[in-house]
Amino acid sequence: MPRAALLLLSLFLTREASAQAPRCAAHERDFPRLIGLTEPAAIAALETMPGVRLVRIAAPGAPLTKDYRQERATILMQGGRVVDVTCG
């Protein structure tokens, strides 16, 4: 098989696999139970959710990149406790 055809097949299979993989958004309904937890407890809970591969910690109003990452959860912390969890 020509190298270009293999590359295209590889890109297609990678795209198909990522389209079928669980994503952060699949767990959004569980996020309210994380409110009020400490940072380590929230991270531990997120680690059990397939599809959440990255966790970002910030304070409300902190500047964050606007790129959307389907495998990333963002925890907003205030006073040592979780106040919000979002995907992206």
- Over residues 38-70, the pLDDT tens digits come to 999 999 999 999 999 999 999 999 998 888 899
Asked if the model's pLDDT at residue 34 lies above 90, the reply is: yes
Please report, rounded to a whole number, the percentage of residues in the chain having pLDDT higher than 90.
67
Amino acid at 51: G
- Position 21 scores a pLDDT of 66
User: Which run of H or E residues covers position 6?
Assistant: helix 3-20
- Position 4 scores a pLDDT of 41
Choose among 47, 45, 41, 73: nearest CA to 58.
73
Output the pTM of the full model: 0.74
- Position 10 scores a pLDDT of 43
| CATH homologous superfamily of 23-87 | Trypsin Inhibitor V, subunit A (3.30.10.10)
